[in-house]
Structure 1
Amino acid sequence: MTRLFHVSDLHFGREDEAALAWFAARVKDERPDGVIITGDLTYRARSEEFATATAWLEQLKVPVTIEPGNHDLPYFNPIARFLSPYQRYRKLERAIERPLDLEHVCIVPLKTTARAQWRANWSWGVVRPVSLVRTLTLLQACPANRLKIVTCHHPLIDTADMTKASNTRGGEAALGRLAAAGADVILSGHVHDPFDIRHPIAGRAVRLIGAGTLSERVRTTAPSFNELSFLAGSLQVKVRMMT
């Protein structure tokens, strides 16, 4: 069995320290095969926020892949935002958009953040052609017998189950191409509430799974993460909420 913990929107700078301690304890005690973070590691992309996040992540001691979120791009420094938006990840660089090839699961990243776009709200998602091509290439390299998971920050499409719209430009077309390339699951964050939708597309069903938040910025759900268990060709998803 392959077991993964999927978490999102930790928002260091507005983090919930009790929730982070609870999650770290679950990782230490249960030793998942990997941790997937689908964006917004920080709140304002400040250097001190990344430093605190790095120290916290180092204690997990399991494979980690991080997909950047819109909050992880410099907020107050436009020069850094355009020229070196991910420089402040520093020690976390190896985990950014890191593909993971596990025994039964293949995990590939898809960038949906943008330094700038021709819309007023730059927090919305964008799937650019170069990012999609990279993801499709990684998908094609996955062994045929693996569960193929794509990780991104923004949900590719908005549905009635979501409490916040992501308005991801190019998301619907990207989802069609990912499904045709064999993607089984799309993991995302951004909306701060978990969801699990079986979406019919390209003659098959793709699982769209969103994680909640471990920050103070909760919406309708308490701090939570998703536990993904893959055994005998079946994926089970459990939302684990802090009580």
Structure 2
Amino acid sequence: MRTIAQISDLHFGAHDPAIVAHLHAALSAIRPDLIVVSGDLTQRARKEQFAEAALFFERLETEGLRLLVVPGNHDVPMHKPVQRLFWPLRRYTRFIARGRSGWYCDAELAVLGLASAHGLTVKDGRLTRVQIRSIGDHFAAVPSSAARILVTHHPLVPLPGEEKGEIEPALRGARRALKAVKAADVHLVLAGHHHVPGVSLSGPTLSIDPGVMVVQAGTATSWRRRRTPNSFNLLILASPSEVQVEEWISEGGAFSCPAPRRSFSRSAGDSGGWASTPAA
């Protein structure tokens, strides 16, 4: 059994310091096998904001926790057009990416992080053809016993928005990326960006491949919560086809998991897919 904590949209610079401390305490107590950070580490990609994020990550790593991090659109400078055009992720690389890999793989777990934030995308995201080809390249040698997971900041599929009937668009290049995801037999896609947590499966309102589960994270530490509490996801993987998801929330104090754990199973075969498993 492996555990992954998915934290997202930290937004250092628009964060609540008390919630940051509570998040640190929760992750230290849970001690997941991997902490996945799905983008928007900063509010405006400023040096001091990246430095705060880096310090938070270093404290976790000092305690022996492993991190995999991808940038978000807020980690690209908004008001510096030259830097945004030619070196959009320079500060992210300097403070965050250096010494950290976007790829983790062992006999039970394979996780690939791709940067969907680019200089010309502003708020929206995209995956380039080179990035999409890398999905197949990375997962080609992964053992069949391993759960396969892709991490981006922007979601690969359209998802429900804040208002009734609203649908948020997928990132650019999503159609090609989803073909690569299916060809590589990726099981889970993790993302952030919308500050609204949830698990999405194939259904009448969302065009998701049945073999792919989409797990969205809320904002872990920002006060820009969009009427939801600060939260992070804890994924418990008994096998590549058995996943349980817990949503840990903070209403200003310590993080806890008040709602029941949600269980999902993935049926075998080309026509198989994910489905919610009734509680025992």
- Would the TM-score normalized by the shorter structure come out above 0.5? yes
Task: Identify the residue that residue 188 of structure 1 maps to in structure 2.
Answer: 191
* Cα distance in 2 between the residues matched to 1:219 and 1:76: 24
Tell me which amino acid in the other structure corresponds to 1:65: L
Consecutive unaligned residues of structure 1, counting only runs of 5 or more, are none
Note the C-alpha offset of 1:176.
Answer: 2.7
Highest Rg: 1 or 2? 2
* Cα distance in 1 between the residues matched to 2:144 and 2:129: 24
**Identical pairs, percent:** 32
Tell me which amino acid in the other structure corresponds to 2:247: V
Assess if the C-alpha contact under 8 Å between 1:64 and 1:95 holds in 2.
no
Assess if the C-alpha contact under 8 Å between 1:66 and 1:95 holds in 2.
no
Task: Identify the residue that residue 28 of structure 1 maps to in structure 2.
Answer: 28
1:151 is aligned to 2:157? no
Task: Identify the residue that residue 134 of structure 2 maps to in structure 1.
Answer: 134
Consecutive unaligned residues of structure 2, counting only runs of 5 or more, are 252-280
1:226 is aligned to 2:230? no
Q: Deviations over 1:138-191 (max 9, x none)?
A: 12232221100000000111133x437244122133113212211100000000
Structure 1 segments, 4+ long, off by >4 Å, are 200-204
Assess if the C-alpha contact under 8 Å between 1:2 and 1:103 holds in 2.
no
Note the C-alpha offset of 1:24.
Answer: 0.5
Task: Identify the residue that residue 7 of structure 1 maps to in structure 2.
Answer: 7
Distance 1:52 1:203, change over 3 A: closer
Q: Deviations over 1:174-220 (max 9, x none)?
A: 11321221110000000001010123789742100000002111013
1:17 is aligned to 2:17? yes
Task: Identify the residue that residue 60 of structure 1 maps to in structure 2.
Answer: 60
Note the C-alpha offset of 1:126.
Answer: 1.3
Tell me which amino acid in the other structure corresponds to 1:112: S
Q: TM-score, normalised by structure 1?
A: 0.90
* Cα distance in 1 between the residues matched to 2:148 and 2:138: 10
Note the C-alpha offset of 1:128.
Answer: 1.5
1:208 is aligned to 2:211? no
How big is the alpha-carbon RMSD for the aligned residues of Structure 1 and Structure 2? 2.0
Assess if the C-alpha contact under 8 Å between 1:194 and 1:211 holds in 2.
yes
Task: Identify the residue that residue 108 of structure 1 maps to in structure 2.
Answer: 112
Q: TM-score, normalised by structure 2?
A: 0.79
Quick check: 135-144 or 43-52, which moved more? 135-144
Distance 1:230 1:151, change over 3 A: same
In the alignment of these two chains, the number of paired residues is 238
Assess if the C-alpha contact under 8 Å between 1:225 and 1:239 holds in 2.
yes
Q: Deviations over 1:42-82 (max 9, x none)?
A: 01000010011111111112111111100001122222222
* Cα distance in 1 between the residues matched to 2:209 and 2:10: 35
Task: Identify the residue that residue 99 of structure 1 maps to in structure 2.
Answer: 103
* Cα distance in 2 between the residues matched to 1:184 and 1:73: 29
